[in-house]
Structure formats: C-alpha cells, structure tokens
Amino acid sequence: MSYFFSNFSYVMQLFGQHLRMTLIVLFISLLISIPLGILVVRVRWLHGPVLSILGVIYTIPSLSLFVLLLPLFGLGLKPAIIALVAYAQLLLVRNWVIGLTSVDKAVLDAARGMGMSSWQRFIQIEFPLALPMLLAGTRLATLSTIGIGTIAAFINAGGLGVLLFQGVITSNYDKIVTGSIAVSALAIATNYLLRFFERRADLVIRGDAK
Amino acid sequence: MQTSKVKPGELTTEGEPTHNNVIRSGEIVCQEVTKHFPENSRPAVDHVSFKVAAGDLVVLLGPSGCGKTTLLKMINRLYEPDQGQIWIGKEDIQTLPVNQLRRQIGYAIQQVGLFPHMTIWRNIAIVPRLLGWDEEKINMRCNLLLELVGLSPTYLGRYPRQLSGGEQQRVGLARALAADPQILLMDEPFAAVDAINRERLQSELLIIHRKLHKTILFVTHDVEEAFRLADKIIILKDGQLIQYGTPVEIVVKPENEFVAELVGSNNLLRKLSLFDVQSLLEAKQYERHNSFSKASFTSIQPQENLRTALSMLLESGAEQLHVVDNKGKSHGVITFQDLHRLLFEQFTSPAAELE
C-alpha cells in the first residue's frame, strides 16, 4: 500500500477522472434511455428489435468496441464515453421498460377513467410506480460503467484503469492493488448510495414511506 | 346544474364554477350503439338503445362476455362506439372534451385501482385537484365522503395497502364521488369483496343513492346483487339488449327463456321477495271488517317483502299475519292462502299495482 500513500494526490486525480467519466456516461445514458424506454412501451412492435440491438451491443467485448471506435473518434474520453453509453443502454432500457409495463392495469384504467391526461398519468402514476425499476437499472448500469471504464484507460480516457495498465506493464504489483482497491471502493460506495435511493422509491410505491 | 332533486346540501357542491361543467344532466341515452373489436367476429355491443332517467340506479346484467363492461366504458369514452350515439342530457358525448367528460363521471371498478403510492387523501383528491378546487374545499369534501362511506377521517393519511379489501372499495366509491358527479359508472365494484362485506356495501350504496340521487350504471353478473340494487335492470346477451325493465317486470314477464332462466322466474322465493306486504293487501282488496283471530297475533309492517312474510308465517306457525305499520295502525291481515294465490292465480296484475 506504500504506492497509495506516496502517490495520494495522483490516485485521487485518477479517481476524480473515473468518477467524472461515470457521471457523464450516466447522465447521457439516462437522457437517451428514458425516452427510448417510453417509446418502446408505447410502440409495442419496437420492443423486440430495440432490445435485441441493445443486447447485441452489450455482448461486444469492451476492448474491441473501444478499438473499433478509434478510427471514428480518435483517442481520449470521447470514444470511451460513447462506448460506455452504448453498453449502459441495455440495462437501463430493459429495467425501465419492465417498470413501466408492470404498473397495474387497473390503476391505469382508473386514472384514465377519472380524466387524467396522458401526461398527468405519466407524471403522477407511471413514473413514480416505475421508478424503483429505473433506479435498479441505473445502479446496475453505473456499476457496469465503473468496471468497463477501467479498460477505457487503454484508449487514453484516463481514470483508475491507468493504474492497472501501468502496473501490468511495469510489473508494479503495488500499483495494481491500489488501482483495484480504488475501483472497488468507488463501486461499493456507489452501489450503497444508489441502493438507498432504490429502497426509498420502493417504499414510496408500496405506500410505506414515512 | 340540476337542482330539481332534493339533496342534503352538504353532500353536493352547488355553486361550482359552471363554465367547465360539460355535464348538466344525469340522463343517459344510448341510440343504436355498436362496438366491434377486431379480434372478434361478432360485435361486443350490438345496436343497443336505451334511456336511463336521471337519478335511476340501473344494473347492466348478463353473463360474462355479454358486452356489459364494453357498454359501460363507452359512456365515459374509454371505448368509442363504431356506430350509434350516446347522449348525456342534451349533449352528444362525442362533442365533449374527453377528459372533461370523464372528470364529471364517477368511475369505480372491481380491482378498485387505488394509487398505491398516494395517501387516501391524495387518492380521493385526484379529480377535485384536476378541476382546480382549493385545498380547504378538498379537505372538507374528503372528510364528508369518508363519513358517507363509513370510514373514519383518520384514514385520510393512510396508504391503500394498509386497508382491507372492503375498505379499499369504500375509498374507491368515495373517490368516484369526489367531484360530485351527476353520473356514476360502476364496473362489478363489489365482485372481489367477501360475501359479508359485499352485502354491507350494497346496502350502503343504496343508502348513498337514496341520499344523493346520482344516476348510477352498475355492471354485474350477480343476479342477487342486481335485484337488490336495481331500480331497473338491463339484460344483455351476446351484445344485444334482451330486456329492460324493473326487477318485478323482469321476473313476472321475462322476455324469453334466457331471461327466465337467468333471473330465476320460477324461483318462488325470489318472486315473493320482490313484492311488499302493502301491494298484496291492495291486490286482494282487503275488506276492513274482515274478522281475524286475536289469539295469534304476529304482526308485520306493510313495507316488508313477502318473502319475509312467508318466513314469519312458517316460523310462528300462525294462520295469518296482522299488518301493522310503525304507528300501530292496523292495515289488515295476510294469510298463507293469499301468498299462494299471488304466485299461482295472480290477483289483478300485481306488477301493475307495484309500479
């Protein structure tokens, strides 16, 4: 652990880069997946094709996807973010769609019958009731982004993966351990935090929130 | 606003801003209404015409798949008819803005469909809030409605999951009544409730109907329920209207074999339960100076039904029942022989006497 203490500010800088990359990916991913999920639920026939395509993307090994994007976007953060956003879509869209479609039909029938517009139904009923599933998807997608994000260091996107790659190349065992522990700490802390929001949202829809 | 009815003032919301009231009457007219779902060869509702007077409780009765729910859902335009027209008062509902229309028609369904993430207060307040009522008025309304459906105001802060099935259905009813609609649509609202609670809810619905004079369209497949509640019954089969009439008319003069079998026209006890003591007295044109034995003195009130009269005759072993109203005034006697004559010989059409 001597590496960690003697290079504290460098490790923190990489940690910051990793966190920033994850947050950017998360933000863009949600911006795409929320409307995409709603579209898939409203236009039923899109469900199969969209989820198949996202599934195929998810199975592309990350290293090869990063490399594939190189000729288009060059080195750096940009291709990394594009690839990570593409990966996150499957987990986000799938969970969000499950959340939206599992809202009790009787509840929606009552809402329609009482004269709520489709926008009011979405904001007041569908969104809050599907929120726990969306948050679960967000948590999984975030963890997956943190993990795959380490590999993005290979194309100069920075982040904690830098420590791992450097450690492997220079056979610096201490560096590898430091990098691994830092990534794990980030993932565990994120998991804990998002889990908290997920549970809250779940209590709310079950009518147990205080 | 319809003002001719006598309503306890507190339970209505007279003086609502009328500019956004699209419904001003409780009268419903269906004219040749037809609805065809693409997946079925025959129409779900087939050229159905009827008129429901304002303030009537009309039950749509029929086996499953007869089109009763489809018909109901066309009244608040959850389904649009393929042919025909539906009028509420003088308005063709097709010409009304659909969400405005629905906000002014109460809607209660079997699964209740309470919003699980909202308190009882928020659930009841949905339509009043859509209509822009102020908080204070909504609060007053919520308290009144809970009282009306027999729940304590402490329920307002609870969540649906914390309530029993029967209690949830009461809240469903309160929610349907929230904005004081002229018309209430109820789709098998009590079907999922246990038998004891169902009977209780039925009696309470009758009391509420008597108090508020809403037009209620009530869908059920339960014949007992239909006869308990209905002012009039519409019998549907395969999407067609088979018969429309009062419970007595339907039992005494069933349109065809299907109706007779459905409502049990041969069920003597059901028949007796539809007539009250008073109507029998009128039918047999009781002679006031008829002598009766004072030794056996079992009395019955004129508004009791004849099924009760029969069971009292059987229980007491008396030859006759002395009809006495609650002021102690004697109206005459009825005997077992009279009941027999009513069922099998028929005096002067008892149905006519009743209506």
Q: Compare CB distances from B159 to A110, A117, A207 and report the shortest one's residue.
A: A207
The fold of B272-354 is CBS domain Like (3.90.1280)
Res B339 pLDDT > 70: yes
- Domain hosting A66: range is 13-205
> Contact, B142 vs B122, CB < 8 A?
no
* Gap between the Cα atoms of B287 and A202, Å rounded: 73
Mean pLDDT, residues B21-32 taken together: 86
Res A207 pLDDT > 80: no
- For the stretch B274-325, pLDDT in tens is 777 777 777 665 444 444 544 456 888 888 888 888 888 888 878 888 888 8
By the CB < 8 Å criterion, does A128 face chain B? Answer: yes
pLDDT computed for residue B215 by the predictor = 94
- From chain A, the residues in CB contact with B160 under 8 A are 207
| Gyration radius (Cα) of chain B, Å | 23
Per-position b or e across B65-79, b if 16+ CB within 10 A of its CB = ebbbbbbbbbbbbbb
The answer to whether B99 contacts A115, with C-beta atoms less than 8 Å apart, is: yes
pLDDT computed for residue B11 by the predictor = 55
Q: Compute the nearest-CA separation of A205 from chain B (Å).
A: 4
CA of residue A209 relative to chain centroid, distance: 26
Domain for residue A197, yes or no? yes
The fold of B9-266 is Rossmann fold (3.40.50)
Q: Compare CB distances from A115 to B102, B109, B110 and report the shortest one's residue.
A: B102
- From chain A, the residues in CB contact with B111 under 8 A are 104, 106
Q: Comparing C-alpha atoms, which of B131, B185, B124 is closest to residue B16?
A: B131
* Gap between the Cα atoms of A151 and A164, Å rounded: 9
The answer to whether B117 contacts A115, with C-beta atoms less than 8 Å apart, is: no
The answer to whether B103 contacts A115, with C-beta atoms less than 8 Å apart, is: yes
Res B7 pLDDT > 60: no
- Best interface-test mutation with A: which of B117, B156, B173 has the largest number of A CBs within 10 A? B117
Domain for residue A140, yes or no? yes
By the CB < 8 Å criterion, does A129 face chain B? Answer: yes
* Gap between the Cα atoms of B12 and B200, Å rounded: 24
- For the stretch B46-69, pLDDT in tens is 999 999 999 999 999 998 889 999
Please give the residue of chain A at the shortest CA–CA distance from B115. Answer: A107
The segment(s) of chain B belonging to CATH 3.90.1280.20 are 272-354
The answer to whether A114 contacts B107, with C-beta atoms less than 8 Å apart, is: yes
Domain for residue A166, yes or no? yes
The segment(s) of chain B belonging to CATH 3.40.50.300 are 9-266
CA of residue B341 relative to chain centroid, distance: 30
In SS3 terms, B93-138 reads as HHHCCHHHHHHCEEEEECCCCCCCCCCHHHHHHHHHHHCCCCHHHH
The answer to whether B116 contacts A112, with C-beta atoms less than 8 Å apart, is: no
* Gap between the Cα atoms of B295 and B316, Å rounded: 13
pLDDT computed for residue B12 by the predictor = 55
- For the stretch A20-54, pLDDT in tens is 999 999 999 999 999 999 999 999 899 999 999 99
The answer to whether A113 contacts B115, with C-beta atoms less than 8 Å apart, is: no
CATH number at residue A145: 1.10.3720.10
ipTM topping 0.85: no
Structure token digits, residue A164:
């791992």
Q: Compute the nearest-CA separation of B343 from chain A (Å).
A: 44
Domain for residue A1, yes or no? no
Across-strand partners of B233?
B59, B245
The answer to whether A109 contacts B161, with C-beta atoms less than 8 Å apart, is: no
- For the stretch B134-167, pLDDT in tens is 999 999 999 999 998 889 999 999 999 999 888 9
Please provide the average confidence, as pLDDT, over all residues in chain A: 90
- What type of residue is B232? K
Structure token digits, residue B252:
């005494």
- Best interface-test mutation with A: which of B115, B159, B177 has the largest number of A CBs within 10 A? B115
Count structural domains, chain A: 1
Helix, strand, coil proportions of chain A in percent (round to 5)?
A: 85, 0, 15
